[in-house]
């Protein structure tokens, strides 16, 4: 299975820029997607196909990357962005998710 | 408004069965592939199974093949997950999710239910 590796946690101050990384154990082309999950809620799609912003998602969120290295950027970070962020690949079977990056605000 | 509402979770003994349902509304259900994704307590997300828009094709992760069955009733706009021979490691919240390969590309889940909790324990 394709393993997606994310940093477990990050802490930033409101107004700062944060980059969340996701590294794949093998190429996933650009079939990488990002989800936000707030405590007690279901996941929400933010970015699809590496860099496409889902409708209704603030332009503060952006994605980039291809192959094995991907990033989700939030600029500027707001208090409401406190959540766990998951990457997910759909290039290789089975589809897999990263372990999640918990974003905390200082 | 797109809504996905799961039901049927609860406590079940190891080796027994449970069936989850997901009622869809706010969109044309039979135009979309659907999936189940699980999340063990305090853990990350794991894709479980996918079914095509017409039910003709199904896909499963290896750990549930032969034990879980995904199905759908387009007339009722409802997705199902039949879970047999349940194990303690199947304990998780199970989310139903919508796929739209034509709009988003393969494997993107653009709408999710609130989840149904399944606990497998004696």
pLDDT value, residue B30: 95
Q: A3 is written with which tokens?
A: 């393993």
Q: How confident is the model at residue A97 (pLDDT cuts 50, 70, 90)?
A: very high
Give per-residue pLDDT as tens, A27-86: 999 999 999 999 999 999 999 999 999 999 999 999 999 999 999 999 999 999 999 999
Q: What is the 3-state secondary structure (H, E, C) of chain A?
A: CCCEEECCEEEECCCCCEEEEEEECCCCCCCEEEEEECCCCCCEEEEECCCEECCCCCCCEEEEEECCEEEEEECCCCHHHCEEEEEEECCCCCCEECCCEEEEEC
Q: A78 is written with which tokens?
A: 């707001």
Contacts of A88 in chain B (CB under 8 A): 45, 47, 107, 109
Do the chains contact at A54 and B115, CB–CB below 8 Å? no
Contacts of B59 in chain A (CB under 8 A): 93
What mean pLDDT do residues B19-32 have? 97
Which residues 51-110 in chain B show a CB within 8 A of chain A? 59, 61-62, 95, 104-110
Give per-residue pLDDT as tens, A79-89: 999 999 999 99
What mean pLDDT do residues A6-35 have? 96
pLDDT value, residue B100: 85
CA distance A25 to chain B (A): 17
Q: How confident is the model at residue B101 (pLDDT cuts 50, 70, 90)?
A: confident
What mean pLDDT do residues B95-102 have? 92
Q: How confident is the model at residue B103 (pLDDT cuts 50, 70, 90)?
A: confident
Rg (CA), chain A: 13
């Amino acid at each position: 299975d394709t393993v997606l590796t994310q940093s477990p946690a990050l802490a930033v101050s409101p107004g700062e820029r944060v980059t969340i990384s996701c590294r794949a154990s093998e190429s996933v082309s650009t079939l990488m997607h990002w989800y936000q999950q707030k405590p007690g809620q279901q996941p929400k799609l933010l970015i699809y196909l590496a860099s496409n912003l889902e409708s209704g998602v603030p332009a503060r969120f952006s994605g980039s990357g291809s192959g094995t290295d991907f990033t989700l950027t939030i600029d500027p970070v707001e208090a409401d962005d406190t959540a766990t962020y998951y990457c997910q690949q759909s290039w290789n079977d089975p589809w897999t998710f990263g372990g999640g990056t918990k974003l905390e605000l200082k | 408004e797109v809504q996905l509402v799961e039901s049927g979770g609860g406590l079940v003994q190891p080796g027994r069965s449970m069936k989850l349902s997901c009622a869809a509304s706010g969109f044309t259900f039979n135009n979309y592939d659907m999936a189940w994704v699980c999340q063990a307590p305090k853990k990350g997300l794991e894709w479980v199974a996918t079914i095509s828009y017409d039910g003709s094709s199904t896909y499963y992760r290896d750990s549930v093949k032969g034990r879980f069955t995904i199905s759908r009733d387009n007339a009722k706009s409802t997705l199902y997950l039949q879970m047999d021979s349940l194990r303690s490691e199947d304990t998780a919240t199970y989310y139903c999710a919508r796929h739209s390969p034509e709009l988003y590309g393969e494997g993107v889940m653009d709408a999710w239910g609130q989840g149904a909790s399944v606990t497998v324990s004696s």
